[in-house]
Amino acid sequence: MKGVAARLHVGARIRHALWVGEIVPGQRLVEQDLADRLEVTRSSVREALLDLASDDLVELVPNRGARIRVVSVEEAVQITECRSALERLCARKAAERVTPEQRAALAEVGEQLRTAVAEGALEAYSTLNRRLHDLIIEFSGQAVARRQLERLNTQMVRFQFRLAMRPGRPQESLPQLLAIVDAVGSGDPDAADKAAEAQLAGVIAQLRASDPPAALSGW
């Protein structure tokens, strides 16, 4: 694999590894090791790391290489506060524009979320949570907000996974997510705004109660 495809492949693999906990904040990323593991050239790895650095996911340290950037709890709270403002806007816009097909798509995700919580399928729940947010953003038609949220969410990926895996968290957040589904689906912008605000406020409360970061893995 070469060129742009290789660069995108490396970036996607690093993002996924961070999401599932194979690599963690603070961990060094060695170009040659990544090139060997992912079967690409070092130049492709270097370009991918530059892309990740532009998203504030990777930190490039002079004379020491690259490492996953550490996001403090306080910074994560501030990122989530910014997300809240943008996601509330998207929820309002989505409620104003929602079509029957979009309403059905949201309802389906809502049912899948209920099933995941009932079955204790935490990884599925985490994926569906992100899917719901992505749909709301897509249905809002707010392209500028979407670009900004993609960048903010990239920095929050590890926190999001850890919170979703916390015992009792899915049961707590499920009603908040379903309230967003109901408000957007019913075409009520004010209710959608309030539901999105409440859900992100819950995330902030959980972040403030976060455990210390886990030890580095050997990915």
How far apart CA 96 and CA 187 sit, in angstroms, is 6
Domain 73-208 has CATH 1.20.120.530: yes
Model confidence at 160, in pLDDT bands (50, 70, 90)?
low
Global pTM value: 0.74
Contact between 154 and 15 under an 8 Å Cβ cutoff? The reply is yes
* Comparison of pLDDT for 181 and 56, the residue scoring more: 181
Token match 């501030």: residue? Answer: 78
How far apart CA 165 and CA 125 sit, in angstroms, is 9
For residue 168, pLDDT over 70 is answered with yes
Give the number of residues written for the chain.
219
| Domain regions of the chain by residue span | 3-68, 73-208
pLDDT digits (tens, 9 = 90+) for 63-115: 788 998 888 888 889 999 999 999 999 999 999 999 999 999 999 999 999 99
How far apart CA 55 and CA 116 sit, in angstroms, is 31
pLDDT digits (tens, 9 = 90+) for 25-48: 888 999 999 999 999 999 999 999
58: three-class secondary structure by DSSP:
strand
The CATH classification of domain 3-68, taken from the options 1.10.10.10, 3.40.50.2300, 3.30.390.30, 3.20.20.105: 1.10.10.10
